[in-house]
Amino acid sequence: MTPISLSPTNSANSMRERDNTFSTVVEFPQKDSCRVLIVGCGSSRLGEDMMKDGWTGGITNVDYSQVVIDQMDKRCDDAMYRKIQAKLNREKREAEAKNVESSPNEETEDETNRKKKDFPPTVDAGKNPKPNASESSIPRMKFECVDVTDLPYPDSSFDLIVNKGTLDAILCSNGAITNSKRMMKECSRVLKSHGSMVVVSYGKAEDRLAYFENEEKWWNGGVKIYKVPKPNVGALVAATGSEHHRVYIATKDKC
C-alpha cells in the first residue's frame, strides 16, 4: 500500500501544509441541510456556535461520558434555541434588506408578502428585545452517550464529522492504535459518499497521517492538512512544541 503522504495523487495538493485557515478554501454542503456529527463533544460549545453560524441541518453530539451528555443536554435549553433562531432570522432580514437596496427593480406586492411570511418579527418592541418563543423552529441538537469506535448509526447518516481533539485523546489512552483505527473506520462508514471529517489535532503530519491510512481506503478522496495558529498561551506551545494546531480534512470518496 502506498502511504497517503507519498501518493502521487495526494502529495501535490492534499498533503501540503498551508498557513491559511481551512474555512476559506474547503467546501462543505449547505449549512441548512448538512447533517453534522461531533464526536467526543465533551463540554464544548462548538455545536452551539455552529448553529449560530447557520448550521441548522441537524447536529448530533456524542461523547463517552453520560455525565457530560446530561450536562450538555440540560445547558442547551429552549431559551438558547430561541436566541439562536432570533439571531438567524435577524441576519436573514438584514441580508434581504441589502439585496433590496442593491436591486434596481421595484418590489412587487407578492414579494413583500412573501418576505413578511418568511421573515416574521423576531423581537419584542422596546429597549430590551427578547426572542419570540414562537420562532424557535430550528432543530434541536441531539446529545447521545456513544462509543466512537462503535457508532450506532446506519451507513451514510452524516455529511460532515467534526473530530476536535478526540483522536488525540484516544492516542493517549490504552489500546490507542486499535481504537483510533476503529474510530476512523466507523467515521468513514457513517459518512455519505464525498462526505468529510474535520480532525483538529496538535499532532504534526508525520505523527498523524498513519492513522488515516488503511487497505480499505476509508479516505479515498484524500486528506488535506492546514495549519491554524494556537491561542497565545506559552504553556500550550511549550507542551506541544508547536505554535499551530493541524486541521486534517479527510474526504471519504473522490468527487
Per residue in 57-113, pLDDT tens?
999 999 999 999 999 999 999 999 999 999 999 999 998 888 887 765 555 555 555
What is the pTM (predicted TM-score) of this model?
A: 0.76
The rounded distance, in Å, linking the Cα atoms of 164 and 37 is 11
User: Are 36 and 62 in contact, with CB atoms under 8 Å apart?
Assistant: no
Report how many domains make up the chain: 2
Whether 42 and 108 map to the same domain: the answer is no
Q: Residue 59: beta bridge partners?
A: 36
Task: Give the CA dihedral 58, 51, 226, 192, nearest 10 degrees.
Answer: 10
Quote the mean pLDDT of the chain: 79
Per residue in 207-227, pLDDT tens?
898 899 877 888 989 999 998
Domain boundary among 135, 165, 183: 135
Please give the residue range of the domain that contains residue 119.
79-135
User: Are 87 and 135 in contact, with CB atoms under 8 Å apart?
Assistant: no
At 51, the amino acid letter reads M
Whether 157 and 233 map to the same domain: the answer is yes
Whether 56 and 147 map to the same domain: the answer is yes
Whether 43 and 164 map to the same domain: the answer is yes
C-alpha cell belonging to residue 16: 501540503
Residue 18 is assigned to a structural domain of this protein: yes
